[in-house]
Amino acid sequence: MAFCTNCGAQTPEGTGFCANCGSRLGSPALPPTPPPAPVYGTPPPEPSFRAPFAPGMIYAPWTDRVIGHLIDIVIVFAFMAILYPLLGTFLALIAGGFGTHPDPLGGGICCIFILLFPISTFLVGLYNGVYLVSSRGASIGQGVMKLKTVDANGNLLSPGTAFLRLLMRVLLSIIAVIWILDGLWPLFDDRRQTLHDKVVGSFVLKQP
């Protein structure tokens, strides 16, 4: 009897091949298969901020959103500069002080300014935050920063959703602490949404 050097099974002499594994008798055992060599240069995993519904696009970085928002705020302040004397004169007429008081706006300047910001944000937002966002996906500031506002399916917001988003942003801006929290929320959110984004289910993406 002969022993197979490959599997160790007994095989009658003269056959030339192992009846168990079929190896040629007397041939050296096959060397063990070496482990696969490590692969270097493996591409890094997909970034955690990549939007699954928009291939090639990521959720907008916080700094880009802030810069775009500041551009929109400049437009709001410009509108406030136009609206302030009109609103002040109107309030003075109602109070009966027009033409008799040397500074009809002096007593209520703080109150007028507090009212002007949300009012101007809303009025400017009807065009900038509703019409433009629902028609092209970006306000003026977002367009400059190459940002795009979409829904959970990657589609443009409907005018109704864009209006609700604007309304929530205005309401949150009335209280300074909540307005600041709304602006800082994307820093701690894995999808970089603000609070008013979460209310309507909108997302702001960075266009390539």
Instruction: Please check whether residue 200 is in contact with residue 168, taking contact to mean a CB–CB distance below 8 angstroms.
Output: yes
Query: Cα-flanking dihedrals φ and ψ of residue 125, to 5°?
Result: -65, -25
Q: Is the pLDDT at 118 greater than 70, yes or no?
A: yes
Tell me the C-alpha to C-alpha distance, in Å, between residue 71 and each of 4, 74, 82, 100, 127.
82, 5, 18, 39, 15
Angstrom distance (rounded) from CA 115 to CA 109 = 10
Q: Is the pLDDT at 7 greater than 60, yes or no?
A: yes
Instruction: Please check whether residue 187 is in contact with residue 60, taking contact to mean a CB–CB distance below 8 angstroms.
Output: no
Q: Please tell me the predicted confidence (pLDDT) of residue 117.
A: 79
Q: Please tell me the predicted confidence (pLDDT) of residue 183.
A: 92
Q: What is the DSSP letter of 16?
A: -
CB under 8 Å, gap of 24 or more: what pairs does 102-109 form?
A: none
pLDDT tens readout for residues 16-70: 667 677 666 665 555 556 777 666 666 655 556 888 888 778 999 999 999 999 9
Instruction: Please check whether residue 11 is in contact with residue 18, taking contact to mean a CB–CB distance below 8 angstroms.
Output: yes
Tokens representing 4 are 């197979």
Looking at every residue in the chain, the average pLDDT score rounds to 81
Q: pLDDT band for position 147 (50/70/90)?
A: very high
**Residue 69: which of 29, 9, 128, 155 has the closest Cα?**
128
Q: Please tell me the predicted confidence (pLDDT) of residue 96.
A: 65
Which one has a higher pLDDT value, 64 or 82? 64
